[in-house]
Every structure is written in C-alpha cells, then in structure tokens.
Amino acid sequence: MFWTGLYNTLLFAAAVFAVPFYGARMLLTGKYRRSLGPKFGRLLPDFSSRMKGTPRIWVHAVSVGEVTAAAPIVTALRSRFPAACIVLSTSTETGQEMARKLVTAATAHIYYPLDIPCVVRKVLDRVRPDVFIPVETELWPNFIRLCRERGTRIVMANGRISPRSFRRYRATRFFWKEILAALDDAGVISEIDAEKLAVLGMPSSRIHVLGNAKYDGLAARVSPELEREIAGRLDMTPGDGVLVAGSTHEGEETVILDVYRRLLERRPDFKLILIPRHIERGDAVAEIIRQAGFADVIRMSEIRAGRSRRGERVVLVDVIGELFKVYSLATIVFCGGSLVPKGGQNLLEAAAWGKVVFHGPHMDDFHDEQVLLGEAGAGIAVRNGEELFRGIRELLDDPDLLRRKGEAGRRAVAANRGAAARYAELIADVLRRAGCAK
C-alpha cells in the first residue's frame, strides 16, 4: 500500500506538468486529439453492444512494434476460441491505426486508459476481461492492481526487457517485485529475458520462454500482392535499384544522404526511400533532403493526396503504415536508430522480405534479432557512413552474394515461427485454471 500511495502521489505531481505540455502540443500540432478522450475512458456508444462472446480477452499492445507481435497472438486466440470477445488496446494513435488495419480478428479496438484509478475502473467495468494480456513489458501499477481486485487473470506475452529498461527496473526492484507477483504467468522471448524477470522478483515457475511472436506476424504478411500494390503506387518496377532507409532518427538522414550521393556515382539509376521513425519530423527531414542537394523529392503524403511520382529520385515516407510494404522494394536496407544511441529498430521486417539489412552499433533493444540475422549473414553491422557505403558497394558488385544473404535472412525468420501458438496455449491454460474456458 505504501508504494501504491507513493506512486499515485508522483503520478499526480507529474500530471501537473504534463497536462500543460501535452495540451500545448495538441493545440499546436493536432497530436493526441483522437486519443485523449478514449484514454480518459470515453468509449464509443455502441461498444457494449459489440462486446459479446466468451471468454473475454483483453490484449494490450503499446504501439506499432507491439501490434506486430500482438497480431498473430490474437489470430491464434481467435482460432482457439472462435466465440471469444477479444479487445485489442493501444496507447498511441499510430499503433491504433495499425491495429485496425492489421488485427482484424479482434472484436473491438480501443485506447488503453490512463493509469488513474477512476479511469481504469470505468473502462474495466465496460470490458470486464477474464484475462488481460500485456504484450512485451507494459505494466501499469493501478491497472494491474484493479485487475487483480476483480479476479482478472494477467498473462504477459512476448515479454522482453531491453538493457536500458532493465537498469531502470533493477534500480526500483522493490517496487516492481510486487507488481510482477500479481501476474499469473509471463511468456518471454528469450532465456535472457527470463533471467531478468527472475532478478526483478518474479517466481521462476511462472516464467516461460516461448519465442518471439513477431516472426509469425511478419512471415505471414509477406505477399506478392503487397509488393505489387506499393510498387504500383510508387511507380517502381522489379529490378529497380532502391536503397531503403527505415526508421531513421535525427542525425542519421545526413549520413544516409551522403552514402546515397556516393552510390549515385556508381549507380545513377538508384532510388532512395527514406522513412523517418517519427512522421512528425516529415517537414524537417524534407528540408534536410533539399539541403543535401536533392530537389527531386516526393512525399508519400503527396502521393496519397493524388500526386503521381514523376521520376523523383528520393521518396520521403511521412505517413504511418507503409514501412513493411516499402521494404519489399529494397535492393539494400539500412535500419535506423542504430548509428545514433537509440537502441535500434526492428530488423526482421526487412529480413522477412529476403533483404540484407545494414545497421549501426547501437542495437541494445533488438539484440536477439541482431544476433539471428548476423549469424545468417543477412544483418551487417557498420560503425559509420564510410563502412555503410563500402558494405553496400561490395554487395552490389556481387548480386549472387546479395541474393544468398537475403534468402538466408528470410529463412531465419521463417524458421522461428510458432511462438504465437505457444502464447495462445499459455493463455488458454490460465483461462482453464480460472474456469473461464474448457
């Protein structure tokens, strides 16, 4: 009780500063407008009428990355429990948009409530879950406590703890031990994640190493139709030379543009597709592209508005939901958040298409994926732009080697499928023990 009271006091204090900040951002940029009301518990009027079926399952995926893992788990749960009521929540607007497109097996899509007791109670009264499933490591104290008070079971799925997060959790282990004790079971990606949870105080008997469900989701999404659709929209044809730089962060675009300029000296026909991690940086990145000397740039938002590509060398993807599809067009991929210390981004999306992926040295948040693709030869670490250029040049000079490495990465992703079914079985077992399913 002491730590709960302290947490809520700190939460209130943080709100005093956060409300003006986010209010200003909402007014100036329009961000958070769609999600603010739902996060305070305002659900659509017809929500209750759609909430039919048993068991009642609530899956939570914070944003786009977690939705990728949640999608095959929800599909596996729907296959196991055809009559279930399955709610999928997200915290971000980009995650919500992706969830509505990708997770069609869910009964309803909602925003995760703010961790304020009265708000949480209001939403739990409407959803009435038999089991709550946080995807990866998304644990909010008030929400967890109120679930337990109502008898709702809690099962972590696709659990992972990055090195940076683990340092923070370990420093406040006294607080998280009580929260982890409230979980019925935790399915985690790797033995390393299992060890971290045990160090934080979760009983080892409740921790299960089940693999990464993202492999299931990505392998299942690859299709020739998806590739043809994005190729047609961008007026590109198979065989075009394309460098795709995905999920880039501030400080990486200038490096990529310099590498691309040098690449054009050898391959004048090459195109560049640049996809910043945060689409709100679209204007800033467009200016960086122009300052680098590339006036012939078109933005994906312009294409969506009806403008056709007229041979522009550079495409700036400033909308969400296109990254995975765009990777299908790549000859070579660079995955961002890795030349700068941001922990990296997901390498698997490109590898699922059979693409070789270059990345920087900062891959702390995606260590397992880095190791998997590195061992397959499809993930290549570089320290700077010079190494990136040399690596790209060597592979382009040996197309057969490029193809073999890419295919090895695709096979590595496909070989690791099956985790989603294991998570569904764990959840089903918890529901059976609770008497909510057969």
Q: 76 and 14 in one domain? A: no
74 and 89 both lie in a single domain = yes
Q: Which residues pair with 248 in a beta bridge?
A: 276
Does residue 60 fall inside a structural domain?
A: yes
pLDDT of amino acid 29: 58
Report DSSP letters for 115-180, one per residue: S-HHHHHHHHHHH--SEEEEBSS---HHHHHHHHHTT-EEEEEEE---HHHHHHHHHTHHHHHHHH
Look up the CATH number of the domain holding residue 313: 3.40.50.2000
Q: Do 180 and 316 lie in a common domain? A: no
Interatomic CA distance for residues 188 and 191, integer angstroms: 8
Residue type, 279: I
| Domain annotation covers residue 438 | no
Query: Is 143 found in the same domain as 125?
Result: yes
The amino acid at residue 89 is S
Residues composing the chain: 438
262 inside domain: yes
Q: Specify if 57 maps to a domain.
A: yes
Same domain, 235 and 376: yes
**pLDDT tens across 83-93, in order?**
999 999 999 88
Residues 4 and 42 in one domain: no
Per-residue confidence (pLDDT) for residue 173, from 0 to 100: 86
Q: Indicate the residue type of 261.
A: R
In a domain, 93, yes or no: yes
Task: Indicate whether 181 and 240 sit together in one domain.
Answer: no
Assess if residue 298 is contained within a domain. Answer: yes
Give the number of other Cβ atoms within 10 Å of residue 168's Cβ: 11
pLDDT attached to residue 16: 57
Query: Which among 55, 70, 15, 85 has a CA at the least distance from the CA of 151?
Result: 55
Residue 167 lies in a domain: yes
Write out the chain's pLDDT in tens, 438 residues. 555 666 766 666 666 565 565 555 555 555 666 777 888 888 776 677 788 899 999 999 998 889 999 999 999 999 999 999 999 999 988 889 889 988 999 999 999 999 889 999 999 999 999 999 999 988 889 999 999 999 999 999 999 988 888 888 888 888 888 889 999 999 999 999 999 999 999 999 999 999 999 999 888 889 999 999 999 999 998 778 999 999 999 999 999 999 999 999 999 999 999 999 998 899 999 999 999 999 889 999 999 999 988 889 999 999 988 999 999 999 999 999 999 999 999 999 999 999 999 999 999 989 889 999 999 999 999 999 999 999 999 999 999 999 999 999 999 999 999 999 999 999 999 999 988 877
* Domain match, 85 and 176 both: yes
- Which CATH number is 161's domain given? 3.40.50.11720
Please indicate, yes or no, whether residues 19 and 81 belong to a single structural domain of this protein.
no
| pLDDT at residue 11 in the model | 66
**Is residue 162 domain-shared with residue 246, that is, in the same domain?**
no
Question: In the chain, how many domains are there?
Answer: 3
363 part of a folded domain: yes
**What pLDDT score was predicted for residue 164?**
83
pLDDT at 2: 53
4 and 131 inside one domain: no
Domain ranges, residue 206: 38-213+418-433
The pair phi, psi for residue 436, each rounded to 5°, is -100, -5
In this structure, the answer to whether residues 208 and 171 fall within a common structural domain is yes
